[in-house]
Amino acid sequence: MATKHKTNKSAAAVPRHIAVVMDGNGRWATRRLLPRGAGHKFGVDALKRLVRGCIAQHVSVLTVFAFSSENWSRPADEVRGLLELFVQVLQRETAELAAQGVRLRFVGCRDAFDARLLELIESAEVDSAAQSRLQLNVALNYGGRWDIVHAAQALAASGEPFTEQALASHMCLADLPAPDLLIRTGGEHRLSNFLLWQLAYTELYFTDLLWPEFDEKALAAAIAEYARRERRFGGVPAPSAADGLRVA
């Protein structure tokens, strides 16, 4: 999982972990007088470009929001179409992803999935387990509040003392570095219940591009913006060489 970073001023120029709210498929389709489902289909191509882009940029972990615990409130047709699309994409793309060195993991509540989807998810995770170029986490029927409650239940069941660290260890993605950068497309400036715990110190980046429009150039722009940010984690700015000279 370790990524080599340059050790100059831009030591953390490349985020180790990028989280993405892939939003705007419906509007993209509607603008083209297409059904919303067409937007979701083109959204898959954007996700494939993103995976290639992350590999090219040496990002280690990518977590994408594919279906939220609130998305069940959409019209039944759209929900059915999305679940069918997940099945098709898993059938079609898992081998190719593994060939690119992608290890797959699914996060979210699996109770609602039918046997076919569940089996594809489980075999994709097993079949890609040896890959290590990019860890791709797909949030499917995921909600940040669900994640926190689920972790709290697991912690309570374990009998361990209730500490922040112990709770964190039961959250989804606990074994991975927290996201460095969150990208949300589609022009909305909200989290929509994605990774509430894990995003505590993540740099947020919003773009008006609709998800099917997101490409390598857009990824490069987001990473370039990230490289300009100064992360302080509650501390103070790191002293620069110039500050040192002034003191001396």
Catalytic residues: 23, 71
- When the beta carbons of 190 and 232 are compared against ligand IPE, the nearer one is 190
Considering only 37, 42, 50, 68, the residue that binds ligand IPE (CB under 6 A) is: 68
- When the beta carbons of 42 and 226 are compared against ligand IPE, the nearer one is 42
Q: Which residue is nearest to ligand IPE (CB)?
A: 26
What is the chain written as a DSSP string? -------STTTT-S-SEEEEE---HHHHHHHTT--HHHHHHHHHHHHHHHHHHHHHTT--EEEEEEEETTGGGS-HHHHHHHHHHHHHHHHHHHHHHHHTTEEEEEES--TTS-HHHHHHHHHHHHHTTT--SEEEEEEEEE-HHHHHHHHHHHHHHHT----HHHHHHTSTTTTSPPPSEEEE-TT--S-TTSSTTTTTTPEEEE--S-GGG--HHHHHHHHHHHHH----TTS-PPPPHHHHHHH-
Give me the least distance between CB of 121 and ligand IPE, in Å please: 16
17-21: strand order across its sheet: 102-107, 134-142, 61-68, 17-21, 181-184, 203-206
# chain residues binding Mg ion, by CB under 5 A: 1
Give me the least distance between CB of 123 and ligand IPE, in Å please: 23
- When the beta carbons of 26 and 53 are compared against ligand IPE, the nearer one is 26
Q: Is 188 in the site for ligand IPE (CB under 6 A)?
A: yes
Residues 1-40: x where in contact with Mg ion by CB under 5 A, - otherwise, as a string: ----------------------x-----------------
Q: Which of residues 104-143 bind ligand IPE (CB under 6 A)?
A: none
Q: Which of residues 202-241 bind Mg ion (CB under 5 A)?
A: none
Residues 18-57: x where in contact with ligand IPE by CB under 6 A, - otherwise, as a string: ---xxxxxxx------------------------------
Q: Which residues contribute to the site for Mg ion (CB under 5 A)? A: 23
- Footprint on this chain of ligand IPE (rule: CB under 6 A): 21-27, 65-68, 71, 82, 186, 188, 190, 192, 211
